[in-house]
Amino acid sequence: MNNLPRAEYRTVVVGGGIVGLFSAYHLARAGAGPILVLDRGFLSSGASGRNGGGVRQQWETRATVRLAREAVRDYRRFGREFGYNPWFRQTGYLFLAESADELARLRRVHDLVRSEGLASEVLAADALSRYVPGIAPGSAVGGTYLRSDGVLYPFPAIWGVYEAARALGVDLAFGVEVLGIDSEAGRVTGVRSSAGPVATTSVVNAAGGWSSDVARRAGLDVPNVATRHEILATEPLKPFLDPMVVRASDGLYFSQTVHGGLVGGLTLPHPAGTAAGLPSSAKFLTAMARALVGLLPRLRSLRVLRAWSGFYDDTPDGLPVIGEDPRLGGFVHANGFGGHGFMLAPAATRRVARAVLGERTDLEPELFAPDRFLAPRLPSTAERLLLG
């Protein structure tokens, strides 16, 4: 006996963040129920409720550009499809280069993005102040800009997919931890949870920063590593900034919300793993203040309202893991999204649903399949534009 609506489900999704919710939604739309989503926290307690809302299509990997472009289309029609407005503002992403080498790298991204039909632009140093009013002279040698990139509010997106999944008959249980995944003869047979056992033939590992932990509970070793990232929100300013601004050198990123505050972060080295929890640090506040004021001296007196942190789920090659694990039939990965899972979720999880249904996907296996780490391949296929 368990405390869940049923004792048996066709699929159990571990993790009720944006990836788990969208996976359940696409599966339910494909008529592949009954489906259960289990999350040990509350709705949006993971990275999905802690991120910067950036949605970009500028990537070094063609496959990721394509996934992101599809996701942009999904978010553009999100309000009509889900009845919640995530305020997706296509006001662009501006990448800043501080050196000729960085600019050359951004140019290569620009060439790839343009070859995919997206209207990316290369900006000279003197054009930057049009997009970032008040930018300190000499702080960047140029940049790239793609107007159709943008920013959204994560919470209405989460609510929209949550409600839509429920309306399609998906059962969702929060405050329920997956403790173990059972198997027989190399195939998933069930899940042991804090609310009791559930029989199932497929499990989706959408546990974000805890995905390696959940894989271990199925007896599988994966190379995913959780890394903590900090982020802050400031008091509101009069509207002055349209794009999400990202600096290639240190991963500084920030955008201005509809409310007027800036939301942004910076990449700092933190010990890997989830054991230390999710504190915020004075080191981050100082580094962020230095970086922001150095770039935009007008922000000198700006006050920070809140700071928080969340886990990225990083893979060795910077690409997500999507597909059935070759070592355990019915165990499907939907993880490894690093700092970019929100923007890729609607499109990537279409492929997750197909993988659960045993259908072929259009994803290159050498880029996304879990077995790429079992038989390592050339590093040239890695995604390295892991910023903002």
Ligand X SMILES: Cc1cc2nc3c(=O)[nH]c(=O)nc-3n(C[C@H](O)[C@H](O)[C@H](O)COP(=O)(O)OP(=O)(O)OC[C@H]3O[C@@H](n4cnc5c(N)ncnc54)[C@H](O)[C@@H]3O)c2cc1C
| Beta carbons of 85 and 156 less than 8 angstroms apart | yes
Interface characters, 199-238, with ligand X (x: CB under 6 A): -------xxxxx---x--------------x-x-------
3-state secondary structure of 244: strand
- Which one, 107 or 280, has the nearer CB to ligand X? 280
| Beta carbons of 224 and 211 less than 8 angstroms apart | yes
CB of 45 to ligand X, least distance (A): 5
3-state secondary structure of 264: strand
Nearest residue to 203 via CA among 178, 167, 174: 178
Q: Treating both helix axes as pointing N-terminal to C-terminal, what angle do 341-356 and 62-76 enclose, rounded to 10 degrees?
A: 100
Alpha carbon separation from 90 to 54, 122, 242, 257, 260 (Å, rounded): 10, 18, 9, 12, 16
Between CA 162 and CA 336 the distance in angstroms is 21
Determine if 53 is a binding residue for ligand X (CB under 6 A). yes
CB of 71 to ligand X, least distance (A): 9
Determine if 340 is a binding residue for ligand X (CB under 6 A). yes
Interface characters, 307-336, with ligand X (x: CB under 6 A): ---xxx----------------------x-
Phi, psi at residue 84, to the nearest 5°?
Answer: -125, 140
CB of 168 to ligand X, least distance (A): 18
Question: 210: which 2 tokens?
Answer: 């805890």
Determine if 247 is a binding residue for ligand X (CB under 6 A). no
- Which one, 297 or 384, has the nearer CB to ligand X? 384
CB of 387 to ligand X, least distance (A): 10
Determine if 20 is a binding residue for ligand X (CB under 6 A). yes
What secondary structure does DSSP assign to 282-331, as a single string?
Answer: HHHHHHHHHHHHHH-GGGTTPPEEEEEEEEEEE-TTS--EEEE-TTSBTE
Determine if 113 is a binding residue for ligand X (CB under 6 A). no
Determine if 337 is a binding residue for ligand X (CB under 6 A). yes
CB of 244 to ligand X, least distance (A): 8
| Beta carbons of 226 and 216 less than 8 angstroms apart | no
Nearest residue to 147 via CA among 102, 89, 67: 89
Which residue in the set 4, 28, 36, 39 belongs to the binding site for ligand X (CB under 6 A)?
39
Determine if 16 is a binding residue for ligand X (CB under 6 A). yes
Phi, psi at residue 14, to the nearest 5°?
Answer: -95, 110
Determine if 255 is a binding residue for ligand X (CB under 6 A). no
CB of 47 to ligand X, least distance (A): 4
CB of 227 to ligand X, least distance (A): 9
Determine if 171 is a binding residue for ligand X (CB under 6 A). no
| Beta carbons of 236 and 42 less than 8 angstroms apart | no
Which residue in the set 12, 13, 17, 205 belongs to the binding site for ligand X (CB under 6 A)?
17
Determine if 67 is a binding residue for ligand X (CB under 6 A). no
- Which one, 50 or 89, has the nearer CB to ligand X? 50
CB of 38 to ligand X, least distance (A): 5
CB of 198 to ligand X, least distance (A): 12
- Which one, 101 or 221, has the nearer CB to ligand X? 221
Phi, psi at residue 141, to the nearest 5°?
Answer: -95, -5
CB of 230 to ligand X, least distance (A): 7
DSSP designation for 380: G
Q: Which stretch binds ligand X (CB under 6 A): 44-52, 60-68, 294-302, 359-367?
A: 44-52
Nearest residue to 225 via CA among 289, 139, 292, 311: 311
Total residues in contact with ligand X, by rule CB under 6 A: 41
Alpha-carbon torsion angle 320, 74, 67, 249, nearest 10: -70
Residues engaged in binding ligand X (CB under 6 A) = 14-20, 38-41, 45-48, 50-54, 177-178, 206-210, 214, 229, 231, 265, 310-312, 335, 337, 339-343
